[in-house]
Amino acid sequence: MLTAAPSQQVFLSRLRATGIRFLRCDRGTTSIEYSVIAMVLGVAIVAALGSLEEPMATAFAAISAAFSPN
């Protein structure tokens, strides 16, 4: 049976402890959730602006025509 040297055992023990701590940690979860919410809102805004393109162009053309000298 192969056994690790004491320094390797300490390293493996610390590595295992760090891995377990990482898997149990949930500090970054909130920031990821906020990022997903921001992404969904961004996609919704872009989609809404895409559907408003023609009405906005018509409105700005009418405003521009009203201010232009004849």
pLDDT at 41: 96
What are the sequence ranges of the domains in the chain?
29-70
pLDDT tens digit sequence for 9-54:
888 888 889 888 877 877 777 778 888 999 999 999 988 888 888 8
DSSP state of 4: -
Confidence of residue 58 (pLDDT cuts 50, 70, 90): very high
Q: Tell me the whole-structure pTM to 2 decimals.
A: 0.44
For the residues of 22-70, what is the DSSP string, one character each? HHH--TTHHHHHHHHHHHHHHHHHHHHHHHTHHHHHHHHHHHHHHHS--
Q: Flag whether pLDDT at 59 surpasses 80.
A: yes
